[in-house]
Structure 1
Amino acid sequence: MNAEEQAPMKEQYRQQPGTALITLRAEGRLGEAVTCRIETGKAPVEAGLHPATGGDGRSACSGDMLLEALVGCAGVTLNAVATALGIRLRDATVRAEGDLDFRGTLGVSREVPVGFQQIRLQFDLDSDASEEQLATLLRLTERYCVVYQT
């Protein structure tokens, strides 16, 4: 996809803002062994407990899935923004890390937050673009990445 292909959509959204509002949905059904089967539209995913909370490690951990969603969104956004800015990326890797203290989710300590205490998003880019261009690319990627901004 390039800027010319997106132009008609952008114009439609300017002229008819209501057409830009889309409701995304997810649904899951409880399974055995404290799991939840999520229909993704591509392939079902079975989410389960992380081994640090008693899971057996055979199911996807929802915390990992959150980080994977962030990486996927940031990667697609990075690619789209680079295309719009005319920045050629020979290679790019996007990484997310998140710190969880499982005492919170297990109810061991009320002083410990249940969710991620910190999430870090990192980009490794191989490009001939200037440092200023790359800084703009990363700033705009963070600005327009839906999951990052959520």
Structure 2
Amino acid sequence: MTKTTGSNTAKINNGVNVDALLGAREALEQTPEAAQFKWRASCEWVTGTHSRSVIGNFFGLGAEQSRDKNFRVEADHPKVFASEDNAPTPVEIVLSGLASCLTAGIAAVAQRRGIQLHSVKATVEGDMDIQGILGMDDDIRNGFGGIRVHFDIRADASPDDIKSLVAQSQKRSAVFDIVTNPTNVLVTVN
């Protein structure tokens, strides 16, 4: 993408192929049924509170989609929970997912708006009273009581433009939606 300011022309490159994204959006407007995706992960217990998830193929664009490789994500609990601390906790992975989704959105929106990014850093904190998950008090929820996301963004843009980037990313973030709105979850056992 090229941004023209007065007589200067600058190449904006945040590493996002906005033309391809817009092309996909136009194609999906013609075939909205292809926009139905199914993301998957499988998880196996390793030992103690340590587990390993594998993320690979998914369904989208009306067909199974293959990846070149599978991704592995491990989870565990810290030693203060009498665990081995082999990996981040599942709730920390959720925080990482939120930060990653919002950060990717900022890059895409900035590219579309012709804003050159120099750095984007998200810091995410989630407050949790663990009396809920320990079964000490049924009136205390098991999940986060609140989450705070703080961005430090360096870009060729005004503070208001940067705030607008973050707002648009938040508006379109799948993970932000997942953690801020109820989602139907069905759990079954074989």
TM-score (normalised: structure 1): 0.90
In 2, the alpha carbon distance for the partners of 1:46 and 1:91 equals 28
Q: Percent identity?
A: 26
- Equivalent residue of 1:25, what SS? coil
- CA 1:117/1:74 → structure 2, altered by over 3 Å: closer, same or farther? same
Once the two structures are overlaid, the 10-residue window that deviates more, 39-48 or 112-121, is 39-48
Gaps of 5+ in 2: 1-15, 57-69, 179-190
- Cα offset for 1:60? 2.5
Q: Deviations over 1:127-150 (max 9, x none)?
A: 231222122111101001110111
Structure number having the greater helix percentage: 1
In the alignment, what sits opposite 1:70? 98
**Equivalent residues of 1:45, 1:60 under 8 A apart:** no
In the alignment, what sits opposite 2:39? 24
Number of corresponding residues: 150
Q: 1:9 aligns with which of 21, 24, 37?
A: 24
- CA 1:16/1:43 → structure 2, altered by over 3 Å: closer, same or farther? closer
Once the two structures are overlaid, the 10-residue window that deviates more, 36-45 or 97-106, is 36-45
- Cα offset for 1:91? 1.3
Q: 2:86 aligns with which of 58, 64, 73?
A: 58
**Equivalent residues of 2:40, 2:55 under 8 A apart:** no
The one-letter code sitting in structure 2 at the alignment partner of 1:145 is S
In the alignment, what sits opposite 2:108? 80
Q: Which has the larger radius of gyration?
A: 2
Q: 2:53 aligns with which of 38, 58, 63?
A: 38
Q: Deviations over 1:93-127 (max 9, x none)?
A: 11211111111101112222110111111110112
- Equivalent residue of 2:132, what SS? helix
Once the two structures are overlaid, the 10-residue window that deviates more, 49-58 or 96-105, is 49-58
In 2, the alpha carbon distance for the partners of 1:99 and 1:51 equals 19
- CA 1:18/1:86 → structure 2, altered by over 3 Å: closer, same or farther? same
Gaps of 5+ in 1: none
Once the two structures are overlaid, the 10-residue window that deviates more, 65-74 or 35-44, is 35-44
Give runs of aligned pairs for residues 68-147 of structure 1, distance below 5 A.
68-147=96-175
CA RMSD of superposed structures (Å) = 1.6
**Equivalent residues of 1:103, 1:109 under 8 A apart:** yes
In 2, the alpha carbon distance for the partners of 1:138 and 1:23 equals 27
Structure number having the greater strand percentage: 2
- CA 1:110/1:99 → structure 2, altered by over 3 Å: closer, same or farther? same
Displaced runs of 4 or more, over 4 A: none
In 2, the alpha carbon distance for the partners of 1:77 and 1:51 equals 35
